[in-house]
Amino acid sequence: MNFINRERELAFLNKSYRDKQSQFIVVYGKRRVGKTELVKQFFKSIPHIYFLADKAPEREQLKMFSEKVGLLFNDELLLSRGFGNWHDFFRYVKGKGRIAITIDEFPFLIEANKAVPSIFQKGWDEELKDSEIFLILLGSSIGMMETEVLGYKSPLFGRRTGQLLIESLSFGDSKKFFPGRSNEEFMYTYAVLGGTPAYLLRFDSSADIWKNIKNKILLPEAYLFSEPEFILKEELREPRNYFSILRAISMGKTRASEIINETGFEKNVVGKYLSVLTDLRIIKREVPVIEKSFEKSKKGIYLINDNYFRFWFNFVFPNKSFIAEGEVDYLIKNKVRPKIDIFTSSAFEEVCRSFVKKGAGEGMRFNNVGRWWSKDAEIDVVAINEDANSILFGEAKWSTKKIGVDVLTDLKKKAPLVEWGKKHRKEFYALFSRKGFTEELKNIAGKEKIILKTIDEML
């Protein structure tokens, strides 16, 4: 499998390496998103040390790290005795020239010794800052990387020379794993797996979505079957309670009050769990796009941010008894197939919002794109540009029928409910379809300059 995407990130690392000055790069992002593979692509043809931290005691980890350094420099003494402490390592590599040193899952070192950020701060300031060393710290615990490495209260604050937050792949880049699929076919795969490379690689590109769901997810021995469980148990101390929170959200209990009622947990406990899951990028808090204050808005809802976690908590977690009894075909026929289009429609809406963010049409640029809702109505895509006093309203329909004039009429009725902008705001309308549009709608759209896009036209 060829390395897909990440051209911008790889170019940044290569340029930084060519600068010859010492570099302290922080790379972080959720698990399985491709951080390690990116860095391996970068250092594959240059002198490097790669060390994957784990939950072993610090002394044991330092010993294993010493072995990696000793192998690069063919240092028998280092291979046999190792470094006595991290300061010995900093002094040792200071004069070794241009070397890329990568410590993966750096948060595990911090868990083993809370003083590690201070130790690395001193090592960088006293030994490595004026060397040629290219230091990369990787981490999957986004919250810890942001507080213990990047945060202003961290001893390491201000030392980094660059940072990369590695996000999931877009729909278009994810589809490169399945070049033979149509956009419509791949939308189902994307809705199930999202843009996580490790998951996309597990699916068989020659099999249809149902064979992949059966063989790659719903069989107990399959890698993806236990993946969310593994991640939650790896990251969290009380995984069972987090399971309850995520299951409640997957059932449509998206407001904090609804989650409290569904789980029976105390308000402050739910608040803590939601905060942790948000830090891990497993869930996200969303407010109507026109809200002026994200933090203070009382309209916030919580959604599962990871497509595969959303699929797993909708279809795998609540149906484990069927899977244990070998009733996988029954589960697919009666639980998954009837709901897959409704499930996929959410992913399609997100793809449409991403399209608008990149520019819906000539001269159309919006600095904020999202959804809008009230107690009376909801609009899939709303984009605003405060400087131009312009707003776009859009609907996305993952339907097997062509979109007709009724959808446009309904959208125009809802638009005045969105109280945003100055008098005489400039309004745009857009419709996004799986199967296209009726001729009557096309005629009206041509006269009124309404944007009509199918999934193929967007991509």
Residue 176 included in any domain: no
Domain endpoint, select from 165, 200, 222: 165
- Distance, in Å, from the CA atom of 398 to the CA atom of 394, rounded to the nearest integer, reads 13
pLDDT score, position 279: 85
Domain count for the chain: 3
Residues 417 and 321 in one domain: no
Q: Are residues 247 and 396 in the same domain?
A: no
Domain match, 247 and 139 both:
no
The domain that holds 154 is classified in CATH as 3.40.50.300
187 and 300 fall within a common domain: yes
* 130 occurs within a structural domain: yes
In a domain, 426, yes or no: yes
DSSP of 176-198: GG-TTS-HHHHHHHHHHHTT-HH
Q: Please compute Rg for the chain using Cα positions.
A: 25
Distance CA(6)–CA(29), nearest Å, equals 13
* Residue 342, both tokens: 């409704």
Helix then strand then coil, % of the chain, to nearest 5: 50, 15, 35
Is 122 contained in some domain?
A: yes
306 and 411 in a single domain? The answer is no
> For the domain that residue 193 is a member of, what is the CATH number?
1.10.10.10
The one-letter amino acid code at 367 reads N
pLDDT in tens, the chain (459 residues): 456 778 999 999 999 999 989 999 999 998 899 999 999 999 999 999 999 999 999 999 999 999 999 999 999 999 999 999 999 999 999 999 999 999 999 999 999 999 999 999 999 999 999 999 999 999 998 888 999 999 999 999 999 999 999 999 999 999 999 999 999 999 999 999 999 999 999 999 999 999 999 999 999 999 999 999 999 988 887 888 999 999 999 999 999 999 999 999 999 999 999 998 998 889 999 999 999 888 889 999 999 999 999 999 999 999 999 999 999 999 999 999 999 999 999 999 999 999 999 887 666 789 899 999 999 899 999 999 999 999 999 999 999 999 999 999 999 999 999 999 988 999 999 999 999 999 999 999 999 999 999 999 988
Residue 31, domain member (yes or no)? yes
CATH number, residue 397: 3.40.1350.10
In a domain, residue 172? The reply is no
Q: 376 is in which domain, residue-wise?
A: 344-458
Q: CA nearest 33: which of 139, 161, 172, 186?
A: 139
Q: Is residue 2 included in any domain, yes or no?
A: no
